[in-house]
Amino acid sequence: MLVLSRRVGEQILIGDDIVVTILDSRGDGVRIGIDAPRSTRVNRAEVVEAVKVSNVAATTGDAAAEDDLIRLVALPPRTTAY
């Protein structure tokens, strides 16, 4: 990992087409701006992790719901009288 010190207003270049600019520094937080091509995905790590956790939770349903679904599938088809 490359560790750099930058002041407000200074920039970091990544490759030929990504520019990271230090916008503000207050207390324990730093605001940065990222200029990148639209084809480059830029995501916060905590958001990506939250989506992963949510996707795993969605694929592991609770046992009661699974039992209800099995019972519904096992029911004979309804017939409609006209």
82 part of a folded domain: no
Average pLDDT, the chain: 88
CA distances from 27 to 10, 45, 49, 80 (A): 18, 21, 26, 70
Beta strands across the sheet bearing 18-26 = 11-14, 18-26, 29-35
Q: Report the number of distinct structural domains present in the chain.
A: 1
Domain with 54 in it: 11-69
Paired with 35 in beta bridges are: 19
Full-prediction pTM beyond 0.85?
no
pLDDT digits (tens, 9 = 90+) for 19-73: 999 999 999 999 999 999 999 999 999 999 999 988 887 777 677 777 877 888 8
40 part of a folded domain: yes
54 part of a folded domain: yes
15 part of a folded domain: yes
77 part of a folded domain: no
What H or E segment, with its residue span, contains residue 69? Answer: helix 63-74
4 part of a folded domain: no
42 part of a folded domain: yes
24 part of a folded domain: yes
In the chain, what is the straight-line distance between the N-terminal and C-terminal CA atoms, in Å?
73
